[in-house]
């Protein structure tokens, strides 16, 4: 059986964004595993317009070609990690828009979170978890946060995330939980699909 495939989604497209740094750090750790496969998804490669479809694709196919490309890409994955900062106690507009442009592609899949900012994006991640529940995802308890002086040092002083040695055990714990849930939910989806087809 092929390993479950997990997307690491970069949650902003800003020119001056910080998200590249934690994403690459996490990707390097994640790809050391032999039980899951990872791919980075950069929202810059999916320049979605503000949502203007007749309805969610849960009810009507999206007409926008970029939306269709985004949905087809998401359908490849069994789980997701969102790497996000915090914008007015929430996620970026571009990430919310990307979430809104899909529905069945998110369903019954786990979501993990890596946040950065003054409070480690804790408030944004809580909001993101609520959105994930509405999208019928399974948000995980374990998350990774870069906050306070450590975040400022990484943002302004060029400190490497690898120097924050306490983060790697937290990342591995999150990835362990994500691997478990990804496999469990993939098996459950296959069982339901098999039952429906019999």
Which sequence spans correspond to the domains of the chain? 5-197
99-122: average pLDDT: 97
Report the predicted TM-score, pTM, of the whole model to 2 decimal places: 0.96
Digit-coded pLDDT (tens) for 8-25 = 999 999 999 999 999 999
In this prediction, residue 118 carries a pLDDT of 85
The conformation of residue 137, written as its DSSP 8-state character, comes to: -
Superfamily of 5-197 according to CATH: Flavodoxin domain (3.40.50.360)
In this prediction, residue 1 carries a pLDDT of 58
Pairing of strands 138-147, 79-84: unpaired
Contact 156, 125 (CB under 8 A): no
In this prediction, residue 192 carries a pLDDT of 83
Query: Closest Cα to residue 179, out of 125, 114, 90, 110?
Result: 110
Tokens matching residue 113: 């979170």
Spatial neighbors of 82 by CB under 8 A, at least 6 apart, are: 9, 11, 91, 95, 111, 112, 113, 114, 125, 128
């Amino acid at each position: 059986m092929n390993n479950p495939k997990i997307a690491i989604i970069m949650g902003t497209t800003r020119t001056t964004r910080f998200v590249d740094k934690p994403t690459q750090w996490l990707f390097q750790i994640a790809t050391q595993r032999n039980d899951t496969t990872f791919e980075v998804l950069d929202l810059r490669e999916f320049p979605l317009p503000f949502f203007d479809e007749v309805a969610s694709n849960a009810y009507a196919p999206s007409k926008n070609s970029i939306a269709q490309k985004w949905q087809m890409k998401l359908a490849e994955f069994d789980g997701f990690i969102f790497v996000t900062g915090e914008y007015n106690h929430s996620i970026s507009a571009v990430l919310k828009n990307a979430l809104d442009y899909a529905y069945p592609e998110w369903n019954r899949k786990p979501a993990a979170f890596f946040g950065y900012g003054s409070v480690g994006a804790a408030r944004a991640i809580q909001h993101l978890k609520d959105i994930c529940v509405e999208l019928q995802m399974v948000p995980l308890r374990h998350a990774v946060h870069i906050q306070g002086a450590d975040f400022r040092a990484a943002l302004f002083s060029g400190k490497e995330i690898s120097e924050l040695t306490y983060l790697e055990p937290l990342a591995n714990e999150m990835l362990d939980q994500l691997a478990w849930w990804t496999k469990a939910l993939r098996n459950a989806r296959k069982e339901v699909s098999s039952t429906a087809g019999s």
